[in-house]
A = this chain, B = another copy of it.
Amino acid sequence: MEMAFVLDLSAAKGLLEQFASVRSKTEQLAEGLSDADASVQSMPDASPTKWHLAHTTWFFETFVLRTGVAGYVPFDHRYHYLFNSYYEAEGPRLARHLRGLLTRPSLAEIMQYRSHVTQAIKVHFACLPPSLLELIELGCHHEQQHQELLQTDILHLFGSNPLLPAWHPGDMSASGNSSEPHELRWVTGRCGPVEIGHDGPGFAFDCETPRHTTWLSPHALSSRLVTNAQWRAFVDAGGYRDPDLWLSDGWAWVKQDHIEAPLYWQRAADGHWGSQFGPRGTVGLAEHAPVRHVSYYEADAFARWAGARLPTEAEWEAAAALLDPLKGPFLESVAPGIPEDDTSDAPLRQMYGELWQWTASAYLPYPGFRPAAGAVGEYNGKFMSGQFVLRGGSCATPRGHVRPSYRNFFYPHQRWQFTGVRLARNL
């Protein structure tokens, strides 16, 4: 975390409001979930809602209150062990795959824990030194990440239940079904030396820094994400049965796990892939909506089948830097400033807030990367092997959380996140 951090009064006030808002938003997300919903872990990759609620609280208690507030009495000293995620420096912790065994403490007790810590932060906020305010800001962004995971983990839990319960029966926001059809256009990207990485006044994670030069070869990006209709064509063409299209590890995964379609796609009685499970339960497959819940392996195979490839993270960022993340996926997020070597005037759509877009880039340190100091330095750097970068944020990403330099990362077989595909090609 290379943050310049000199907070004046108004900035501090903004941080306190942000803190209150983030804490409150997390609790809203858990509304409607039962104690059982919030306790069960549907697979080792996922965590129970209760754990998300508690761990984000643990972060503030551990790194701010226990460190910086003299006389702070922890809510329950046993929680220090229970809700540590992977911070080795913070001592032993519950093995990840056992998080679902914590039927106690109850959801209500976890909510009290949240209250206790939220209040303590608020009470002591005015007296905290800048280094701890930085950690509060980090904690807010950390909690926003867990807001998204909370949603994808609940979706996985409900999607593993034969009853396929709807989480938000009437909610249209997460669907993308209202997408208008857009012709896929190729938008020329910048080439030659470009700078990527974070270097602004705002917040960024350590892995987004330092800003540095990289070199881009001539290429173009597709103007929108791959749709369900396109993906169905891939399925119908035997894409999941043709090893020539797949990476070797990807093909092994397809065979081992009997992969035939994106996660949550469902067959109709006639064998046709006609619907998909989502936050609203089972809904029909919208032709023009972007395909979601695909792995890197699938994204890569689709691109090969389509005669294209996935963009690198630098290509993506060089284009995205010109767009405003807050405008969201459905607005005309045309890239106005693409340089003159751009031979197309098509707008780049769905860059932010629609689906996380797999890039062809392994998640590795930037030149000159230095992890943040202290235990929070374990935050990002230790995951830099075997994963791929995703960009752009999804419908489950909190508004304001994503930015052009934001690097998300997952293993190439994982697909329970809101992941999608943008194509690229060489020019």
Contact = CB atoms under 8 A, between A and B. Distances in A.
B103 A161 contact: yes
A384 to B, nearest CB: 6
Given A40-B39, A250-B385, A101 B426 contact: no
Nearest to A88: B243
A35 B212 CA distance: 52
Contact of A37 (B78, B81, B103, B251): B103
B386 A412 contact: yes
A309 B106 CA distance: 45
B104 A40 contact: no
A365 B359 CA distance: 13
Contacts of A81: 162
Interface stretch (A61-69, A213-221, A272-280): A213-221
Contact of A100 (B40, B296, B361): B40
A139 to B, nearest CB: 21
B367 A217 contact: yes
Contact of A163 (B37, B104, B364): B104
A19 to B, nearest CB: 28
A37 B100 CA distance: 11
A249 B249 CA distance: 17
Interface string A29-53: 0000011111110100000000000
Contact of A385 (B36, B42, B86, B247): B247
A368 B426 contact: yes
A245 to B, nearest CB: 10
A212 B219 CA distance: 14
A160 interface: yes
Contact of A247 (B160, B367, B382): B382
A5 interface: no
Contacts of A300: 385
Interface in A349-392: 360-362, 364-365, 367-368, 378, 382-386, 388
A364 B107 CA distance: 45
A244 interface: yes
A106 to B, nearest CB: 6
Contacts of A94: 162
A4 interface: no
A102 B246 CA distance: 29
Contacts of A336: none
Contacts of A217: 212-213, 367-368
A107 B34 CA distance: 10
Nearest to A104: B165
Contact of A160 (B98, B296, B378): B98
Contacts of A38: 36
A389 B86 CA distance: 28
A284 interface: no
Contacts of A214: 214-215
B364 A362 contact: yes
Interface string A101-127: 111111100000000000000000000
28 contacts: A34-B35, A34-B36, A34-B103, A34-B106, A36-B38, A36-B40, A39-B39, A39-B103, A42-B101, A78-B162, A78-B163, A82-B162, A88-B251, A89-B244, A94-B162, A100-B100, A101-B161, A103-B157, A104-B161, A104-B163, A213-B217, A216-B367, A217-B368, A249-B386, A362-B362, A385-B388, A385-B412, A386-B386
Q: Which 6 A-B pairs have the closest CB atoms?
A: A362-B362, A217-B367, A36-B39, A88-B243, A36-B103, A35-B36
Interface of A: 34-40, 42, 78, 81-82, 86, 88-89, 94, 98, 100-107, 157-158, 160-163, 165, 193, 212-217, 219, 243-244, 246-251, 296-297, 300, 309, 312, 360-362, 364-365, 367-368, 378, 382-386, 388, 412, 426
